[in-house]
A = this chain, B = another copy of it.
Amino acid sequence: MKWIDWNTLDEMERTAALARPVQARADQLRHGVERIIDAVRAKGDAALRELSARYDRCALDAIEVGEDEFAAADARLAPELKIAIQEAAARIDAFHRVAAPQPAGVNTAVGVRVERVLRPINRVGLYVPAGSAPLPSTALMLGVPARIAGCREVVLCSPARADGNCDEAVLYAARAVGVHRVFKLGGAQAIAAMAYGTGSVPRCDKLFGPGNTWVTEAKLQVSSDPEGAAIDMPAGPSEVLVIADAQANPIFVAADLLSQAEHGPDSQVILVSPSGTLLDSVAAEVERQCAALPRGAIAEQALAQSRLIQVDSLAQAMAVSNRYAPEHLILQVAAARDLLADVESAGSVFVGAWTPESVGDYCSGSNHVLPTYGYARSYSGVSVASYQKQITVQELDPNGLRAIGPCAATLAAAEQLEAHRRAVTLRLAALGMNV
């Protein structure tokens, strides 16, 4: 990990110190994904079978997971894991329900009722990657809010293993949270299938979930096409920023940094502290713990790009964090709760020594699909609101139109939109009021 003394840097060096690894949207990737999307649109299920054989090395019999496969997964899964999935789903459900948008309404004038009603997005498509390992937790994070929102049809795609079956835990989690249909598809072809529909896969209105660069590029492409589908948010590699003070436990801090670093070679981890001693002891502890990890080689590559940043105060540490806008922000300081008010941009915040990022990844109840790569400046994580439309409604009675019609007519005249004005004045005239 690279050691940086923040106060010796000028403005450009500070920007460079917080730069993310470049995610070049290489032409090769872009065109490769275009070709896959075109193939799925042109040839539907036949293209899905071809692409699955080529990329996932599996010969798909049925594209959709059937009842037999769900039942077999249920029979094979360890009871302990089933319980953990159910427990996590229950807590995710509890928090997401509490944080869900509520209908609202107010009379903005006598006879003028204005409301905001909520409607589920009809058909949503969830993507659950299974690259280095299957991710049942992602099925929970995407499925629970869809169920709370009341989406009519919840579709999930996850790549099959070479044996042609989906991971049992993913299937169990999907069923546990009410996903309606699961398809054994991965990569850009899964995204294309859900965005445009095929014989087997229904066309979805909005797509959710993380993925590799092919999935991410495909989501970007279908979301730029009015015939395609909306997406949850743009994505980049996962990242964590930890703010720790001299009293933080270096063993815990190191473990949190490593839990991010093991995600992939392009993961980014940053530790910011006013204490040089803490930075030193965490660096040593990271090295010690990393050596004992099964994914230690991956973590080492990520750590090579990561930083230890020394600052002069916790206030400056928070300024660095807000500038970086981390996906995950861990506050390992004595008065962690007090720092919260100064958090401006972050995906999810972990407060205090007993809150490792892992609990948010799995089962505290918050969502783990979060804005990365600086998008936390302007995007939020997935929530029930992500699966809903907020529709405004207005209803005027004659008194309402008498009250606010003249204001509308004046503004319409100023904007030289005479038909807008007349839609009001014709009605006012019918009420015996001439404007």
Binding site for B on A (CB under 8 A): 20, 23, 80-81, 84-85, 87-88, 91, 94-95, 98-99, 101-102, 104-106, 108-109, 112, 114, 116-117, 119, 121-122, 132-137, 169, 205-206, 220, 224, 226, 229-230, 234, 236, 249, 251-252, 255-256, 258-259, 261-263, 289, 293-295, 299, 336-337, 340, 343-367, 373-381, 383, 385, 388-398, 400-401, 404-412, 414-424, 426-427, 430
Contacts and interface: CB of A to CB of B under 8 A. Distances in A.
A78 B10 CA distance: 51
Contacts of A121: 377-378
A330 to B, nearest CB: 10
Contacts of A20: 226
Consensus secondary structure, chain A interface: mixed
Contacts of A350: 394-395
Nearest to A223: B234
A365 B259 contact: no
Given A389-B379, A419-B293, A358 B424 contact: yes
Query: Chain copies in the assembly?
Result: 2
A362 B112 CA distance: 13
B359 A424 contact: yes
A107 to B, nearest CB: 9
A382 to B, nearest CB: 10
The residue among A88, A395, A401 with the most chain B CB atoms within 10 A of its own CB is: A395
A410 B82 CA distance: 10
Contacts of A114: 91, 95, 364-366
A352 B316 CA distance: 56
A169 B414 contact: yes
A378 B293 contact: no
Contact of A261 (B106, B119, B419): B419
A345 B99 contact: no
B404 A81 contact: no
Given A116-B99, A134-B415, A407-B84, A423 B391 contact: no
A71 B393 CA distance: 37
Contacts of A137: 411, 415
A143 B132 CA distance: 46
Given A411-B88, A422-B255, A365 B94 contact: no
A23 B224 CA distance: 12
A235 B33 CA distance: 24
B112 A396 contact: no
Contact of A258 (B256, B261, B419): B419
A252 B411 CA distance: 19
The residue among A229, A380, A401 with the most chain B CB atoms within 10 A of its own CB is: A380
A112 B81 CA distance: 21
A251 B430 CA distance: 10
A426 B88 contact: no
B346 A391 contact: yes
A136 B411 contact: yes
Given A352-B397, A356-B424, A358-B412, 8 more contacts: A84-B411, A95-B106, A95-B116, A132-B416, A137-B415, A348-B393, A358-B420, A366-B392
Contacts of A419: 255, 258-259, 261-262, 289, 293, 295, 299
A140 to B, nearest CB: 9
A152 to B, nearest CB: 9
A344 B261 contact: no
B364 A396 contact: yes
Contact of A226 (B236, B388, B417): B236
Contacts of A426: 251-252, 255
A227 B102 CA distance: 34
A205 B379 CA distance: 10
The residue among A94, A346, A364, A375 with the most chain B CB atoms within 10 A of its own CB is: A364
